[in-house]
Structure 1
């Protein structure tokens, strides 16, 4: 028996006009949001290899985790609100506001003189970065019907994957050869390019009404609940395992209250607002729920690999920050094409389950062999093993969004994508916390006691120890590297269990026909839509020229 949502979607598809061809206006708009995505993704992935240098320079090894967590906290908390604002004010002004926040946060981070200032700047930066990624997904849903979105979702995944690949070596190079501050300052010209492209080329419809009328429509109380809940939950996660034990009141109190508030937010959205930020229809279908769960587990695993493979390279193999980033190239080189394969395969076949199943199987196998890596493993092993996991990560980057949207009517796409982005970002916070907790606890067990004694309690041992390993005398240096390798193995084994949950979640995922129309409220403005039909050869040359703009 079909659900109400599926029936409504089917009727809407019959009545909706088919989209016009994709002309210059489309490709220019699409290119603008890809540049914005690259901007946000580069920063998120580039910080990982520079973290040891940053914490040493600012004398903040006891608060290093907040450099990543502050960004994750604010970017996660803002996601539901950014989706609601995009529905009320339109996509373009909200995207521009997010780019501005990101630029201001980047400038403040580059100028930070202590860890507290850097953490505050990363919070501002996260508001912009999270909103950029959210608005990108929403705008693509306005421009391209779900049934035709595979290629475009694949290119988006490729852009994200490309940033994941070049971000670590760029971060390492700047930290080692120039200054880690340029990791943030470099965002300023990129933000300017993204702001200009969105301003000039992104010509999409916006709802009518005065600013006062639109402000009244915003679900302020619901967003207050989710921001408070997210802040408390992320704070508890950040403290867990490093500054305080998982069973301590400092961890349990904010974590439990925060998760309770997130549940309360969902219940409030169902029962109270006339215009909820997250409608119940977005969460009520089993296939959508399986997509959200797969997204959550993928977020945990992917960020763990991006953040902690460089730790293996620097601690066990003695790599510099630059070389540890270069050693991540096998991941980047595989993620990008496999993201494209998943997107195009879904579009051509009309089925999204194969890419999801294949992705999780490859990740489980890849993590399994990665857990076998030793301190003296050959290049062939650490290259080949990470490539298997990378192929799975690449397949899932674009694949998990299709089951989320397939059962829903198009008017719920923005809310669903906002919650999708919220789940993914929240998962990344869990991923960083779980991996850092495992590594910290294992290092305390495996490192020589005399070596641990030189680091104060509450300090993140991994990032404090890496800079001094190369100066240690034998056999202590080898003992420390072996301890790191054994501890990293436990991280990957933990991720195998989480990946198994992702694979199990697919049992609730059904193949549902994807709609072939978009929401008429948004999308290209009338003039640009009317001119959308162009000659294919001209279209190719135009898109090629646009693709050259970011470079």
Structure 2
């Protein structure tokens, strides 16, 4: 692994070396054209500020909607759209993560990043003006199409310009931006929802996106590979993208609709699973046998050290996205909090994430080992999720906050360690593809986590409420207006606590499922490469 120490040593130049899986000559020429453009400390600072802004914007859109979800459901009067509000964003971005890395190699980092910001802004505008749930979900899908490129591109640029042993420090900047967005998201989402409108949870992206685009335009000096547009378009793996997108959409649809709109044994659900599996097989076959410019090259498929990295990415993504999505529901619906209070109550989880992200980065830079950090992350997830499943409406703040801190610690420790473990086992020319494929696994895990836990919550809650409520009208109201259960006069007093207990028991199953997922995460992490990263320093970072 000696070559990893050399990765990105020319970080003092804004001329970024692209990881050419193909068309390496064009990319080398482009980089050469920028070779004399030395950056000043101010320019480097603005470079990472712009990248951090893009990460902040993408993270804000994920976290801000979690607190506003119950109010959105109440406004549109449809509980069935709960998982799709979050899933639609991930669903549109996930299939294209590997493609983003490929496009960045073909067209250059900067054009793809600016295009992603533009698409993301268009989707945010759709969400902010949505007249119904269908348009809102469509807008979330458009936002995901653009927003999904922001995080992997930021990490790809870091891998281009920063040596491996220094990356934890720079990746911590993005983790901080992500954490700040996670803090600002619940608070802004709660404030907008309670005092203005949940629509501003999406419209706020417009000024942030405009500022991000300006910084990228003026300070991100990325080389643009040579070649005419026709040749560049010919290098895109359309067939592979089609297969992976179809497989992902069908899988997420089956998980979201199963047990809710259709029985698990229905022909529709079974057909979706079968077709999803078939498309996944065709995707792998196309990458290994048929594609001239595959999204994921054959040498990465044959790298056994990447398999546990990808699997850990799926499991960690499932844990993070599902927990941050369903924890606010506990505080809003079960604990009786409004949106702002729910946002404040989720801060321990986010603060734990931020602090342990920096602590994990320091530990990795100092020791060079990533696997032990992942082990500790999984243990925190197991204990935190198991304890969170015991919460009731009578649980005190000490338990609520303490358990969430543990979950945040698990999330923070995993935020860099798995990614860096993967980067340490591939050659520098494959870093962009490795990072984008890992991002795909994380987002795929998010889709699986939100969809599966959404089905668990919906099915468990429906079965319990049916036993409590005879009136179909009241049953529909309680199901479709989760944020108003405790409001005076909305639900008979005699039913308020039983309904809250039904939510508590249903959410407990969601958190137990998270604990089981964390157990699988721990077992999988044991297969990660345990070598010390080349060039990592001993002592203080």
TM-score, scaled relative to structure 1: 0.87
Find the counterpart in structure 2 of residue 538 from structure 1: none
Find the counterpart in structure 2 of residue 507 from structure 1: 526
1:225 aligns with 2:243: yes
178-187 or 479-488: bigger deviation? 479-488
Residue correspondence of structure 1 range 45-444 to structure 2 within 5 A: 45-444=63-462
Find the counterpart in structure 2 of residue 464 from structure 1: 481
1:403-442 Cα shifts (integer Å, max 9, x gaps): 2121111111111111111111111111111111111222
Alpha-carbon contact 2:8-2:164 (below 8 Å) kept: no
Match of 2:504 among 485, 489, 512: 485
Q: Which has the higher contact order (CA 8 A, sep 6+)?
A: 1
The 1-side partners of 2:466 and 2:483 are apart by 15
1:446 is displaced (CA, Å) by 2.9
Secondary structure of the residue that 1:373 maps to in structure 2? coil
Secondary structure of the residue that 2:292 maps to in structure 1? coil
Taking a change above 3 Å as real, the CA distance of residues 17 and 389 of structure 1, as seen in their structure-2 partners, is: closer
The runs of 5 or more residues in structure 1 that have no matched partner are 1-5, 518-551
1:195-254 Cα shifts (integer Å, max 9, x gaps): 011111111223221222211111111112112222222222221232223332222212
The runs of 5 or more residues in structure 2 that have no matched partner are 14-40, 537-541
1:286 is displaced (CA, Å) by 3.1
Taking a change above 3 Å as real, the CA distance of residues 499 and 14 of structure 1, as seen in their structure-2 partners, is: closer
Alpha-carbon contact 2:295-2:433 (below 8 Å) kept: yes
Alpha-carbon contact 2:330-2:504 (below 8 Å) kept: yes
Taking a change above 3 Å as real, the CA distance of residues 149 and 285 of structure 1, as seen in their structure-2 partners, is: same
Secondary structure of the residue that 2:330 maps to in structure 1? helix
The 2-side partners of 1:204 and 1:149 are apart by 19
Alpha-carbon contact 1:316-1:376 (below 8 Å) kept: no
Alpha-carbon contact 1:235-1:255 (below 8 Å) kept: no
1:277 is displaced (CA, Å) by 0.9
Find the counterpart in structure 2 of residue 531 from structure 1: none
1:515 is displaced (CA, Å) by 5.6
Taking a change above 3 Å as real, the CA distance of residues 342 and 463 of structure 1, as seen in their structure-2 partners, is: farther
Find the counterpart in structure 1 of residue 493 from structure 2: 474
1:521-541 Cα shifts (integer Å, max 9, x gaps): xxxxxxxxxxxxxxxxxxxxx
Q: Give the aligned CA root-mean-square deviation in angstroms.
A: 2.2
Secondary structure of the residue that 1:64 maps to in structure 2? helix
The 2-side partners of 1:303 and 1:14 are apart by 33
23-32 or 496-505: bigger deviation? 23-32
The 2-side partners of 1:164 and 1:469 are apart by 27
1:340-398 Cα shifts (integer Å, max 9, x gaps): 11122111211101211111111111112111111211111101111111111111111
Secondary structure of the residue that 1:243 maps to in structure 2? coil
414-423 or 16-25: bigger deviation? 16-25
Find the counterpart in structure 2 of residue 530 from structure 1: none
Alpha-carbon contact 2:55-2:154 (below 8 Å) kept: yes
Alpha-carbon contact 2:5-2:163 (below 8 Å) kept: no
Taking a change above 3 Å as real, the CA distance of residues 210 and 456 of structure 1, as seen in their structure-2 partners, is: farther
1:93 is displaced (CA, Å) by 0.4
Alpha-carbon contact 2:9-2:162 (below 8 Å) kept: no
Match of 2:10 among 3, 19, 25: 19
Find the counterpart in structure 1 of residue 26 from structure 2: none
Taking a change above 3 Å as real, the CA distance of residues 516 and 264 of structure 1, as seen in their structure-2 partners, is: farther
Taking a change above 3 Å as real, the CA distance of residues 15 and 353 of structure 1, as seen in their structure-2 partners, is: closer
Aligned pair count reads 507
1:56 is displaced (CA, Å) by 2.3
1:495 aligns with 2:514: yes
Secondary structure of the residue that 1:104 maps to in structure 2? helix
Taking a change above 3 Å as real, the CA distance of residues 396 and 463 of structure 1, as seen in their structure-2 partners, is: farther
Alpha-carbon contact 1:67-1:118 (below 8 Å) kept: yes
The 2-side partners of 1:81 and 1:149 are apart by 23
206-215 or 241-250: bigger deviation? 241-250
